[in-house]
Structure 1
Amino acid sequence: MSDIGRQSLGDKAASAVKPDSQKSVLESATDYVKGTLDSVASAVQPQQEKSTTQKIGDAITGDNTNRNLA
């Protein structure tokens, strides 16, 4: 299974834990870009090709726009 272009759950959690008010402009921009790319990757990657971890992460974050549940 390939999760190319996807953020790990650890990366998502680390980004979410730090309040936006404590992030630099660069950190905020990086989080935005990574989140957007992860959402796009989630949408185009077929469910059957996602790892279990990514399926769970997508379900938790609501990033499961590709609803081909397999």
Structure 2
Amino acid sequence: MSDIGRQGLGDKLASSAKPDSQKSYLEQAGDFVKDKADAVASAVQPQQEKSTTQKIGDAVSGNNTNRNI
């Protein structure tokens, strides 16, 4: 389960499993918006309030500036 306003790891994996070349423009636009919204949510949420899975996801995706897990 993801934190409020955040994409779950399963959603991120499902989105990245299909190459952009096989996605419609609408799918690509949706992924772009979701990724940007998730990055903003990651930046404003204090590290100590993140779930363990969100900390790991942020560290892997580079969505946080504090990489301490």
Query: 1:42-61 CA distances to partner (integer Å, 9 max, x unpaired)?
Result: 00000010000000000111
Percent identity between matched residues is 72
TM-score, normalized by length of structure 1?
0.89
Query: Which runs of structure 2 are paired with 1:17-32 in the superposition (5 Å)?
Result: 17-32=17-32
5+ residue gaps, structure 1, are: none
Task: Report matched runs for 1:34-45 at 5 Å.
Answer: 34-45=34-45
Match of residue 60 from structure 2:
60
For 1:68 and 1:16, locate their aligned partners in 2 and report how far apart those are by CA, in whole Å.
22
Write the distance in 2 (CA, Å) between the matches of 1:5 and 1:29. 18
Q: Give runs of ≥4 in structure 1 deviating > 6 Å.
A: none
* TM-score, with length taken from structure 2: 0.90
Which residue does the alignment assign to 2:5? 5
Residues paired across the two proteins, number: 68
Could you list the runs of 5+ residues in structure 2 that have no partner in the other structure?
none
Shift of 1:22: 0.5
